[in-house]
Every structure is written in structure tokens, then in C-alpha cells.
Amino acid sequence: MRILSLVIFCILLIFFDRQPDSPHGPDFKITCSNCHSPKGWQIDKETYAFDHNTTRLPLVGQHTEIGCRQCHPTLVFSSAKTECNECHTDVHQATVGQECAHCHTPSSWLVSNINEIHQMSRFPLLGAHRTADCNQCHQSESLVRFDVLGVECIDCHREDYMATTAPNHIESGMSEDCVQCHLVNSFQWTGAGFDHSSFPLTLGHASPACIDCHTGGNYSSTSTDCYDCHQTDYNETVNPDHQALSFSVTCTECHTTNPGWKPASYLQHDSQSFPIYSGKHQGEWNSCTECHENTSNYAQFTCLSCHEHNKTDMDNEHNDENGYSYVSSECLRCHPRGDAE
């Protein structure tokens, strides 16, 4: 009987000493009074002392306004999710990845810095792309699904490439790598940025239309020789008459790419006829017509137009010179290099 009484006492002791199971799970270690008070099991805001910022998901922005049960439906807090996509439906359908924080903040779903965000992507927004509507590039059945056709220019601009006729990109066999000719940070297609270093577009060549030189749609074998483009200029020039005088068709022997063909120089004059870029006559003349007054015949020249000595004085100066004559051809005969002696 004494043994039976002892067993019953132990059973009653265990029963009355047993603590009720916590709805927050067996591993929950936080004191009840951090959230609750004797007023009831509802959270008492006057006594609530739990610091959610010590957890894996600090409460900021919109998360401070929602009820606990929206994130903790079972009240077993250890099973709560901490990743955005574990609570929020991915309306983008995995077209922008799973890292919501790349674009969104807990304050709002609205994105106000898409340009800055895009700078960290495979396709930074430059030029006209900064003002383009998202759906112009991300063409999908949903306004929030951002499928990407590709990150190469031609992926979006193939229609532009095929429709362009000045110049005709297809017939000309132009590269589909658009950045070879067009500036990605520009707001227009014109003002191409093609590397034209093989024939620098400077001075007189600074702003021609492509078709001025690339006639017939030929963009691969256009000659870089001056005469091939400027033969008409050569033939029509009469002061001096390039054809009549058999001037060289290597234009760079006399001209630079300065607009208007000036200044021009004829350095061969020193070696082939008379020194005017060196010796006594260097810097003493401004134009060819000072010596060649008859522009229809540059074989004719005059020394007397510049050397304005009185004929009598010149005659007296040359009294001792046999064969002297006050004639330009005689001047050259005695002074072939332009020297006084």
C-alpha cells in the first residue's frame, strides 16, 4: 500500500510540475515577458522589448508596418524565411535573377535609379539608351517581365541596319558590329565614329558625306590617291594650267589638305629651274605671278618686275660684262642661282 501511494504521488508531482509546450517551438529561448503581459497573450506594445534587428532580417521600411503573422504564420519563429523571393512572388519570372535587392528596397517596390542599376549590368545605358522606354528593349508578354534579346547592337537594331540606304549597309558588306562606325553614347546615328585613320578626315576632308568619296556604294576598295578624287580639279585649274605645264598628278607635292588648295608650294622649282625657296629669293615673293606674269605660259618669266633699277644704272653697273643685255633671260644666264655674283 505504501508503494502504491508513492507511485501515485510521483505521478501527480510530474503532472503538476509539467510546463505547457510553447507555440514558438521547443528551441525558443526568449522570455515571455519580452512580448507578453498578464493582460493576455496578444503582444503588449507597452512591454514589447524584442529587438528584431538582432535577427537575420532587420525590420526596416515596409516591414515595420506589417503584422507578425504575415511572416510568421506558424509562430515558430525559427522557421521564418529571410530571402525576398521566399515571401514575395517573383513577378519578373526569373528574367532579372533572384536578388531583389539589386533593384528594390524595403521602403518601396518602385525603382527610381534604373540607369545607375543598369550601369552594373552587361549593358550600361549610354546615349539614347538612357531615355529609351524599358519595353523597347525588353519586349515580353508582361510589362514586368524583362526578357533580353541580346546585348549586341545588332540584336535590337537589325531592322535599322537592313533599312539603311545611305550608305546601303547590306550591299556595302558593312560590319554588323555597329560600334565600329556609330558612337554608343550618341543620341543619333549620324556623326559616325568609324576609325578612319587609314585616311585621316582632317582640314579639307574634315566633314564630307561618305558618298562623296565612296561612290557607287564602294566602301572597301576606295582609292586614297588624291588624283583619283580630284582629277576634275586638276584638269580645270588654269592658274597655273596644270595640264599644259604637265604638273605632277601627285597632288601632295604641292598641296596640303588645307581647304581651298592653299597654301601651295612647288619645291621642285629649286632643283628643276631656279631657287625660290632657298638662296637670295627665299621669302622675297608672295605669288607665282610676280615672276610669271603670263599665266598662260609659265615658261615665260621676268626678273625686271622686281629688280626695278633704272636701265641706265643697270647698264652702267654691267659695263665690264661681255654679252650683257637688259633682258630677263640674260639675267638668268649670268645668275642661274639668283646670286649677285
Kindly tell me the sign of the dihedral angle through the C-alpha atoms of 283, 286, 287, 289: negative
Residue 43: CB atoms within 10 A of its CB come to 15
Mean pLDDT taken over the chain? 82
In a domain, 270, yes or no: yes
In a domain, 260, yes or no: yes
In a domain, 234, yes or no: yes
Per-residue pLDDT tens over the stretch 245-262: 888 899 988 898 988 888
Per-residue pLDDT tens over the stretch 64-115: 888 888 888 888 888 888 888 888 888 888 888 888 888 888 888 888 888 8
Residue 235's pLDDT is what?
A: 94
CA distance 159 to 136: 14
Domain encompassing residue 304: 282-341
Per-residue pLDDT tens over the stretch 261-309: 888 888 888 888 899 999 889 988 888 888 888 877 888 899 888 877 6
Position 122 confidence tier, pLDDT thresholds 50, 70, 90: confident
Q: Are residues 226 and 241 in the same domain?
A: yes
Residue 187's pLDDT is what?
A: 79
Percent of the chain whose pLDDT exceeds 70: 90
Q: Are residues 258 and 275 in the same domain?
A: yes
Residue 233's pLDDT is what?
A: 93
Q: Are residues 260 and 291 in the same domain?
A: no
In a domain, 170, yes or no: no
* Mean pLDDT score, 165-175: 81
Instruction: Spell out a b/e string for 202-238, using b for 16 or more CB atoms within 10 Å of the CB, else e.
Output: eeeeeeeebeebbeebebeeeeeebeebeeeeeeeee
Looking at 281, 314, 330, the residue that finishes a domain is: 281
Cell of 65: 508596418
Looking at 281, 303, 332, the residue that finishes a domain is: 281
Long-range pairs of 125-130 with CB within 8 A, sequence gap ≥ 24: 126/184, 126/185, 127/183, 127/184, 127/185, 127/186, 127/187, 128/186, 128/187, 128/188, 129/184
In a domain, 60, yes or no: no
Q: Are residues 273 and 293 in the same domain?
A: no
Number of domains in the chain: 2
Q: Are residues 289 and 276 in the same domain?
A: no
Looking at 231, 261, 281, the residue that finishes a domain is: 281
Residue 18's pLDDT is what?
A: 47
In a domain, 341, yes or no: yes
Position 231 confidence tier, pLDDT thresholds 50, 70, 90: very high
In a domain, 126, yes or no: no
Q: What is the pTM of this model?
A: 0.46
In a domain, 277, yes or no: yes
Residue 250's pLDDT is what?
A: 92
Q: Are residues 266 and 319 in the same domain?
A: no
pLDDT for residue 13 is more than 50: no
